[in-house]
Structure 1
């Protein structure tokens, strides 16, 4: 096992160049550098060992050539959410041995000079990988997107698209715990079975087998939809708008169907927002990170008591990270996509 002060190989994933259309493995470079496991003198940062990395749809947006301080730069390291162990600390808020989650570089070891936004992990009776998912950014997205943005009430009718993914599977189960009627859509027979048999959705459908999404929604929601948790966009959103009830709420979490298009699809039924008095609101998880302690108080008991299940799709080794990330956009993953780097 490597010790502080040792010089070790450090596998990395480099972003090759801006991406048009669907990303490919060739858009990334797997390389190996050398790192000395020691913080620079007088550093206020952290030396981290990466344990798990998260593959998330928002990372596709960072691959575009568009003005943004958060976009990937050609030739630079890929970054995203992950879990790491502190090997050495120059920061007063962190100690050697601490476990943290937050935005990490896609490499086996990292020096992070500004660790202020990392969140310390205090609960280790659950899998550490959960902090890439149900206890991390996707979990916060699901919990506050549903409870805060959607303002649900018992007995309401809830539709979740991309329902077997990192966020959708949590939203559906939270809605069931609220006493709602919940329908989810997904794109394979395996995912449909998961929604019904593991997550307890009331009704499900495979959108790839439905020639008419409007008809599918009318079949599942003869009385209309109160809440739509939007993960997909495009034709799905258009069909949902035709089926929303009076004073319905739409929480816009993402629109994965649009991320790889050079020209995004238009939405034709927006007038329904007016006639049905629908509230449609976008949000991001960062808006709620300051409420992490409250979130954990609510969600951890559900996990420990078996009231919420969480399914992960895990690949092992940083070299398999790009393929896992790209697989999100063809629906290859079943559950939350995780890259396991080290068990510690």
Structure 2
């Protein structure tokens, strides 16, 4: 594939975050983990398509306008959601968010994607496990493995998901399909309480991925690779406005960094599995910087390449 024509396909929920702050203020912002990843990729200069499930309503219009103004191509399907989903995020005094969702998730049967295979297909969060759309997402990933790198971020939402014992097999089935997995320590603590995150990452990387990254919020990130490398990356010190979208911006940076290293696409799968520690460290240090910028300002507002001094 010509590098100039390479694109990412992101599959998953887009919704409206209704943010309630400790000072009593309320605001509405487009969000959803996969949508945030697509936005982050577009701001980093990548061609990004988002396959999602929006209603033809004011909230859906808000989401489309927000994403498309930064260059995300929100794909149109043969059918739409009855209503655009919402997530009410209540922030604590340290900027951490808890969520209450009104959400339905499905996929259209057909959509207006560009010709040719994407170089990478990303999914995660609610879309990857919530029926009926979750099953369609798993099928779509399986169909694209022959042509595309597959990336996955569980980004779990316990309020919407079945108990850990039920959710864990779904997550691990997707881990086995993925080439790159990014997961937070909070997700792992809910899925497998009492098990060390690094131990889980080591297990997951043996299931098929080339790289598994565990984020630890303000403590940085840990990564392990199929070739046996282990890396710990420190977080940047920053004054936190809130943590909304931090992990999603990290995920965008991870995809973008591996893309720049020439490691995406099914034809680069073995090269990705052999990624050297120096290359991965360079990618992860930049991911940490991207996440730090995101948490330094309100909402899911990832940086552009220009803000990173790259363009």
TM-score (norm: length of structure 1): 0.33
- TM-score, with structure 2 as normaliser: 0.35
